[in-house]
Amino acid sequence: MSVSSRFRSLSDPDSLREFAKRVREGMYIISRDGVILDANPAFLEILGAKSLEDFRGHCAADYFVDPSQRTEEIRLLERDGSVREFEIALKRLDGEERTVLDTCYLIEDPETGEAFVHGILVDITSRKRLEAELREMSTRDALTGALNRRYLFDLEERFAADPELRCGCIFIDIDNFKKYNDLHGHQEGDEVLKRMTRFLMRCTRAEEAVVRIGGDEFVVILNNAESEDTRRVAERLRTEAETQMPISFSLGWATRESGEPVQRLLDRADHGLLEVRVVKRQSDPRMIALAR
């Protein structure tokens, strides 16, 4: 078969339909108002459908997690006639969310003037999940699981974007930690750091960031917190430590002032350190040195 004959064969509508069935990307045709008219098996799988009948009574907008994404994509499509690799969060029929890249074109029927959208979806859910895991690894302290200083860099960007953003900061410093390391070794010291992290995470809410900023120093960042909120959390840490931690530490707190950068907030919290000593520390002989 000649090259030209082979090309004509591949251009046959039946060959194109067979190709559409086999590709992993989701291919679709929808009307201008979002009615799903035709789709290949990959598209059905992405949205958790068994057949086109499952879409009856619905339109494309119903599957967008964020309706504003649909609005923006339509705006670009109407303006440019096409959209390339537009990232969308879609909700499947079973409620599971998928992240896809949508490339689509506005096609007008030359005979009727009716417009249709032809597009291809590429499922990048696994890629996005991996990216999230890598970001998580890059922002976590390998020893304790607390957030690391990268979180503070991100916080600085939020502060720069909103000079009036409210935020509370509690600064925690383990007392005499170097002395403890010298007496009992770094392995025992690592266990103390892990225990401190677990204590801070247990005594704060999930949305409150526990950050190890280096050595034996930690900060707890309280989003949208006023002075009284921050003082109350600091007092809770002090009270809970007396019964839950066989180790002494110091803490201080501050709340963000208008336009204040992260480092200035940390410095003010650090300068306000209040000594916290645990009543039952002597119950563990290894900790006695920390009180001296």
Residue spans per domain, the chain: 3-129, 139-291
- Which of 234, 200, 229 minimizes the C-alpha distance to 216? 200
Please calculate the CA angle 176-180-182 and round it to the nearest 5 degrees.
Answer: 120
**CB distance 21 to 14 below 8 Å:** no
Same fold, 3-129 and 139-291: no
Domain 139-291 class, CATH top level: alpha beta
Please state which CATH number belongs to domain 3-129. Answer: 3.30.450.20
Query: What does DSSP say about strands 274-276 and 209-214: parallel, antiparallel, or unpaired?
Result: unpaired
Whole-angstrom distance, CA of residue 163 vs CA of residue 226: 15
Output the pTM of the full model: 0.57
Q: pLDDT digit string (tens) for 233-275? A: 999 998 888 888 767 889 999 999 999 999 999 999 998 886 6
> Higher model confidence: residue 131 or residue 46?
46
pLDDT tier, 132 (very low <50, low <70, confident <90, very high otherwise): confident
Alpha helices (H) in 139-176, listed in sequence order: 149-161
Residue 25 has pLDDT above 50, yes or no: yes
Residue 281 has pLDDT above 60, yes or no: no
Over its C-alpha atoms, the chain yields an Rg (Å, rounded) of 29
**CB distance 118 to 39 below 8 Å:** no
**Which residue is it, tokens 């096609």?**
107
Q: pLDDT digit string (tens) for 136-169? A: 667 889 899 999 998 999 999 999 999 999 999 9
The predicted structure's pLDDT at residue 275:
61
Whole-angstrom distance, CA of residue 284 vs CA of residue 186: 18
Residue 15 has pLDDT above 80, yes or no: no
- Strand, coil or helix: what is 121? strand
Q: pLDDT digit string (tens) for 61-114? A: 999 999 999 999 999 999 999 999 999 999 999 999 999 999 999 998 888 889
**CB distance 195 to 174 below 8 Å:** no
Please calculate the CA angle 267-268-270 and round it to the nearest 5 degrees.
Answer: 65
